[in-house]
A and B are shown apart, each in its own frame.
Chain A
Amino acid sequence: MTDAPLLELFLHFASLSLLAIGGVLGAAPEMQRHMVETRGWITDAQFTDAIVVAQASPGPNILFVTLLGFQAAGLPGAFAATLGILLPSSLATYWGWRMKRRHEASRLVGAIRLGLSPIAIGLTASAGWIVAVGANGTDALAWSVTLLATAAVIATRINLLWVIGAGALLGALGVIG
């Protein structure tokens, strides 16, 4: 564990808070780029672990940010990262909610919502891709697990914990990983 500077950590996540369209996971590729590749605060495996642990734990998905901060700079890092990702968007939401009536029927607001939503889909898919590449590398069997998990989400109403559990079991048995 390197000790990333807290202020820089906070600012990194704060700068992504307003850019994370369609969910904080959409900003995960940028976090990986910055924290792993540019600054070297954490390893690729730590990055994937943070997302995996957060997905397998109760609570909002954004808590992978807490773990990324923790890995980069311990408990203070966990708080700096969480506060950073929450503060700008929460202030914007609180303000926007109170201004609500003025903008409700605006054509521009509708266009922003409609225009950004396919981009949000692309961002979320990128996050899934980055996690899968980090975990699978060139292991064809592991990729088939990823494909099966993808299909399970699309085609069934299976509890997501079972899918992650199946991945854990296949890893434990040495089938993949």
Chain B
Amino acid sequence: MSGVPSAEIGGGGGPVPRSLGELFVVFAGLALRGFGGVLPFAQRVLVEERRWLGRDQFVEMLAYAQLLPGPNIVNLSLMVGDRWFGWRGSLAALGGLIGPPMAIVLVVGVLVGQVADDPLVRRVLTGMGAAAGGLILGTALKLVSGRRDPAAWLVFAALAFAGLALLRLPLVAVLAMLAPVAVAIAYVLGPRAGAR
């Protein structure tokens, strides 16, 4: 499949990106609309506005993006870009996703850094930290409620939390202890255990 875009799913004559530049601009646009998560905007823009992907294609790509290592939205941009332009498309989509928001976050970071020692700014940042910590905790707990089989599997979530957050063990140690056991159990239970 050298040089040929690999995704053969769908492809029924709908709208397609016309150039690398268009890919870059569209991904930059959806990234800049996303505060606290870009994924919902990826779906809205790619499926509903541009109609480059059907809903089923998007879901299939997303499932794959979640399976592979790395941030889901980054993986998704690589796949979508690859679909029409091979690796150049992947770079264009990833560049749009990361580049412009990176410039903004750096500017904000520099500005905040200049005043971060001011007592008022310090209190504001601390207050935002209190809220942001809750947002991240809430995001994690929401994933629990989305599972069909929370009780048994929660043991692994709890052990990971205890090891990483409370005992402050290295990430690689936590994963080395838990991941083989969890994957082995899932393997023995078979595909049924994963049905949603």
Contact = CB atoms under 8 A, between A and B. Distances in A.
Interface stretch (B14-22, B50-58, B187-195): B187-195
Interface size class of A (residues with CB under 8 A): 35 or more
B178 interface: yes
Given A59-B31, A92-B70, A115-B186, A132 B134 contact: yes
Interface SS majority for chain A: helix
A42 to B, nearest CB: 11
B128 A168 contact: yes
B154 interface: yes
Contacts of B79: 93, 97
Given A29-B165, A55-B36, A110-B194, A17 B69 contact: yes
Contacts of A61: 36-37, 71
Interface of A: 16-25, 27, 29-30, 33, 37, 45-46, 48-63, 66-67, 70-71, 75, 78, 82, 86, 88-90, 92-94, 96-98, 100, 107-136, 142-143, 145-154, 159-161, 163-164, 166-172, 174-177
Contacts of A150: 134-135, 137-138, 141
Nearest to A32: B168
Interface string B114-148: 00100010111111111111111111111111010
A124 B143 contact: yes
Given A55-B36, A132-B129, A170-B127, 6 more contacts: A24-B71, A70-B109, A86-B74, A111-B186, A115-B183, A154-B145
Interface residues of B, number: 98
Interface of B: 1, 6-7, 31-38, 64-75, 78-79, 82, 87, 90, 94, 97-98, 100-102, 104-106, 108-110, 112-113, 116, 120, 122-145, 147, 153-161, 164-165, 168, 170-172, 174-175, 178-179, 182-187, 190-191, 193-194
Nearest to A147: B134
Given A122-B158, A153-B138, A48 B67 contact: no
